[in-house]
Amino acid sequence: MKAKKKHCAGCETDQYIWKNHEGNKYCRNCWGKLAGKPFKSKKVKPIKVKSTRMQKLDALYSKLRRVFLTKHPMCQAALPNCNKQSTDVHHMKGRSEYHNDTTTWLSVCRSCHTWIEENPKEAIELELSQKRI
């Protein structure tokens, strides 16, 4: 049920009523002034995009990724339409617990990485991905 606006005895406007005192109805701003505490909205702390733990893991991942791509500059998948120059790291077992495990990484170009992600069954058959179960 939606609340109806009523006449505030403090500011003389139609507002949503906050408190009823001695037969007079007040909006929350006027009620705060009467109580000696003007209404202030609470500052809401925004939710973090990433947890502190994930931020630390991602910082380590960035360093490991840079070193890995330096050691493996050529695409390891070499599928048709391959660009030859590796730009991505493919996580063959997924990123959950293997996020920073370089033994499960594959250095690939963008076009090969897209193909691997779009064709998971064929990628497993070609040993470019591993089952995640």
Contact 82, 109 (CB under 8 A): yes
Q: What is the model's pTM?
A: 0.62
Please give the structure tokens belonging to residue 21.
Answer: 């005192």
Domain ranges of the chain: 1-45, 52-125
Per-residue pLDDT of the chain (133 residues; tens, 9 = 90+): 577 777 777 777 777 676 666 677 777 777 677 666 655 667 888 888 989 999 999 999 999 999 999 999 999 999 988 989 999 999 999 888 888 999 999 999 999 999 999 999 999 999 999 887 6
d(CA 50, CA 31): 40
d(CA 34, CA 27): 11
